[in-house]
Amino acid sequence: MKTLRQYSALQHFKTIEDRYNYLKLMGTVGKQTFGWDRYFNQKFYKSLEWKRVRNLVIIRDEGCDLGIPGFEIHDKVLIHHMNPMWIGDLKNHNPDILDPEFLITVSGRTHQAIHYGDKSLLPQVPITRRPGDTNLWKI
């Protein structure tokens, strides 16, 4: 039986790296998921149903990468299907592809990291600065 990745489970992971490890797919660059049938998913992503759910997920995640506060996305916001979507899901109207329980807000770089296993693309935890830590002449 296939285990589905879920938002409710993802919330238990507090760090970017832990959430990435839960979601990573380790795919191969150039491996097609829709091939010649790509028009199916393009039509889906233009639907009013998708746009409504997409907006709900962005609001739920407060526009933050992997839904973690402090990792606001300042460029293109993507919604990642935690469980890969296939042409059969579209043809058979699988309700999971529109269920926020199986969706998460990500940046483009994080989306690439999840799909291709490149952890170096993940956002880094901001450095906490302290007085004097940038003084180049202090020994």
Tell me the domain boundaries of the chain: 15-27+35-121
| H or E element, residue 60 | helix 48-60
CA atoms of 9 and 102, how far apart (whole Å) = 10
5 vs 3: CA distance, rounded Å? 7
pLDDT confidence bin for 41, thresholds 50/70/90: confident
> What confidence score (pLDDT) does residue 33 get?
61
Cα→Cα distances 89→31, 42, 84, 132, Å? 18, 14, 10, 56
* pLDDT band, very low/low/confident/very high, at 103 (cuts 50, 70, 90): very high
Q: What is the mean pLDDT of the chain?
A: 88
